[in-house]
Homo-oligomer: A and B are copies of this chain.
Amino acid sequence: MNTKIILRNRPNQTVTQDNFECIDADIEPLKYGQVLVLNQWLSLDPYVRGRMSERKSYAPSMELGDVVMGEGIGTVINSQSDQFKAGDKVIGMLGWQTHAVMNAAAIKLIPEAPFSDTWLLGAAGMPGITAWIGMMEICKPQAGETLLITSAAGSVGSIAGQLAKVQGANVVGVAGSEEKCAYVQDVLNFDHCLSYKHSSWPSNLNKHAPNGIDGLFENVGGALFDSLIPQMNPFSRIAICGLIAEGIEEHFHSINLRTLLANRMLIQGFIVSDHVSRWREIQKQLIGLLVEQKIRVHEKITEGIQNAPQTFIDLLEGKCLGKQIIKLS
């Protein structure tokens, strides 16, 4: 039997347990070219929120009744494909479920490696590569510049800030609690991390970024974004990676183009899936930095597929710290 979480209905504003349903189902027989995977690790990521809505976006929505999408790692336990055999460890969009019937073309073999497989779901996987593209190729930090990262304790922000630190930048994180800020500052070695919920925000920003902001890695949007714009320096770069604060309603920002022109600012939206051709090259560099401990990771592992919805809701509500992973077997 396969235990799976399906999309029962679409969220209005906030995601609730009611949007999900946990059901048991028979596993369908394999067709030629398919494999059965016993799922071991499931990655929870904010982009899934977008797929729960019907709104037109850069990727299709999930349909009601679909297994909720998510990347995972598991072991092949039955194969009707020439490409995989029982015992192979694989990665792919296995979904929020204990077992996945997958076409061989939709999964990749994970070679033996001297590091935790779960890195491939986080710091050396989609979130890490997202951080790389936004930080290294849009924000382009230079030694001595000030880089600011919102949602700094998250799976993407935590890597983005550490990449800027490797380049010699002054790195300031913004997060939603004192606990997260302590983690970002003490464990991830950002120069500073400020809570936007603290009474001294945003005046404390001027203290810790006294020379303004040269690069902004934006994961949040909303009013937080608006409060940062006046701090942007001439020749500054803003990478728009995520807008977790904006929910599904239309949200407009009031932007003065003359300021943007006079400061020669660059604002660019990006999506990691546009860069699949560069995945391996960037992954290799991230693994190198991880092995050398120039980048640190924090993975929060929760057991059991039935806990995926609540952990995901906590993630969207800013209650989580680090990379959220569900252990399935």
Q: Which A residues have a C-beta under 8 Å from some C-beta of B?
A: 56-58, 218, 221, 225, 234, 240-243, 246, 250-258, 260-271, 274
Query: Which residues of B are found within 8 Å of A264, using beta-carbon distances?
Result: 58, 268-271, 274
Q: List 14 A-B contacts (CB under 8 A).
A: A56-B262, A58-B264, A218-B257, A240-B257, A240-B261, A243-B258, A246-B258, A254-B254, A260-B267, A261-B270, A264-B271, A264-B274, A266-B266, A266-B269
Query: By the criterion CB–CB under 8 Å, are B269 and A263 in contact?
Result: yes
Q: Are A269 and B261 in contact (CB under 8 A)?
A: yes
Q: Which residues of B contact A250 (CB under 8 A)?
A: 256, 258
Is the pair B253, A255 in contact by a Cβ cutoff of 8 Å?
yes
**Is there an interface contact between B265 and A268, defined as CB atoms closer than 8 Å?**
yes
Identical copies in the complex: 2
When C-beta atoms are compared, the residue in chain B nearest to A271 turns out to be B264
Residue pair A262, B225 in contact (C-beta under 8 Å): no
Closest-CB distance, A228 to chain B (whole angstroms): 12
With both beta carbons as reference points, the residue of chain B lying nearest to A269 in the complex is identified as B261
Set of chain B residues within 8 Å of A262, measured between Cβ atoms:
56-58, 269
Please, which residues of chain B bring their CB within 8 A of the CB of A251?
Answer: 256-258
**Complexed CA–CA distance, A262 and B57 (Å):** 6
What separation, in Å, do the CA atoms of A260 and B251 have in the docked complex? Answer: 12
